[in-house]
Structure 1
Amino acid sequence: MPKWQELVDFSPVAAFINIVDVLLVWFVFYKLITIIKGTKAVQLLKGIFVLLIARILTEFFGLDTLQWMMDQVLPFGFLAIIIIFQPELRRALEQIGRGRLFARTMMQEEEERDRLIEAFVKSVSYMAKRRIGALISIEKETGLSEYIETGTGMDSLITSELLINIFIPNTPLHDGAVIVQRNRIAAAGCYLPLSESPFISKELGTRHRAALGISEVTDAVTIIVSEETGAVSLTANGDIDRNLDMEEFEARLRRVWFGLTTEKQDSSIWKWRWRKNG
Structure 2
Amino acid sequence: MPFADFTVWKYLSSIVDILLVWYVIYKLINVIRGTKAVQLLKGILVILLVRVVSEYLGLKTLSWMMQQAINWGFLAIIIIFQPELRRALEQLGRGRFFSRSGSPDDDDPEKTIAAIIKATDYMAKRRIGALISIEKETGMSDYIETGIPLDSKISSELLINIFIPNTPLHDGAVIIQKNNVSAAACYLPLSESPFISKELGTRHRAALGISEVTDSITVVVSEETGGISLTKNGELHRDLNTDEFKELLSSELLVNTKVKQASSARWNWRGKKNG
TM-score range, shorter chain: 0.5 to 0.7
**1:136 counterpart = 2:132:** yes
Give per-residue Cα distances to partners, 1:205-254, cap 9 Å, x unaligned: 11000000000111111000000010000000000111111111111011
1:241 corresponds to which of 216, 237, 247 = 237
2:118 corresponds to which of 117, 122, 144 = 122
Q: What CA distance in whole angstroms lies between the structure 1 residues aligned with 2:200 and 2:152?
A: 30
| 2:160 counterpart residue number | 164
| 2:147 counterpart residue number | 151
Identity %: 60
Contact kept? 1:127, 1:133, Cα under 8 Å: yes
Q: Which runs of 4+ in 1 moved over 3 A?
A: 29-36, 80-91, 258-261
| 2:255 counterpart residue number | 259
Does the C-alpha gap of structure 1 residues 90 and 156 become closer, same or farther in structure 2, counting only changes over 3 Å? Answer: farther
- Aligned pairs, number: 186
**1:230 counterpart = 2:226:** yes
- How far 1:257 moved relative to its partner? 2.5
**Unaligned stretches of 5+ residues in structure 1:** 1-28, 47-79, 262-278
| 1:205 counterpart residue number | 201
Decide which moves more: 29-38 or 230-239: 29-38
Give per-residue Cα distances to partners, 1:158-187, cap 9 Å, x unaligned: 110000000000000000000111211111
Give per-residue Cα distances to partners, 1:128-171, cap 9 Å, x unaligned: 00000000011111111111111111111111000000000000
Contact kept? 1:120, 1:160, Cα under 8 Å: yes
Paired residue type of 2:204 = H
**1:217 counterpart = 2:213:** yes
Paired residue type of 1:258 = L
Contact kept? 1:36, 1:88, Cα under 8 Å: no
Does the C-alpha gap of structure 1 residues 83 and 259 become closer, same or farther in structure 2, counting only changes over 3 Å? Answer: same
SS at match of 2:189: coil
- How far 1:258 moved relative to its partner? 3.3
Give per-residue Cα distances to partners, 1:6-33, cap 9 Å, x unaligned: xxxxxxxxxxxxxxxxxxxxxxx99995
Does the C-alpha gap of structure 1 residues 35 and 157 become closer, same or farther in structure 2, counting only changes over 3 Å? Answer: farther
Contact kept? 2:146, 2:186, Cα under 8 Å: yes
Paired residue type of 2:244 = E
Contact kept? 1:151, 1:187, Cα under 8 Å: yes
Does the C-alpha gap of structure 1 residues 126 and 82 become closer, same or farther in structure 2, counting only changes over 3 Å? Answer: closer
Q: What CA distance in whole angstroms lies between the structure 1 residues aligned with 2:35 and 2:229?
A: 28
Q: Give the TM-score, by structure 1 length.
A: 0.59
Q: Give the TM-score, by structure 2 length.
A: 0.59
Does the C-alpha gap of structure 1 residues 227 and 88 become closer, same or farther in structure 2, counting only changes over 3 Å? Answer: farther
Does the C-alpha gap of structure 1 residues 90 and 247 become closer, same or farther in structure 2, counting only changes over 3 Å? Answer: farther
| 1:177 counterpart residue number | 173
| 1:12 counterpart residue number | none
Give per-residue Cα distances to partners, 1:93-113, cap 9 Å, x unaligned: x52xxxx4xxx9xxx95xx22
Paired residue type of 2:196 = I
RMSD, aligned CA: 3.2
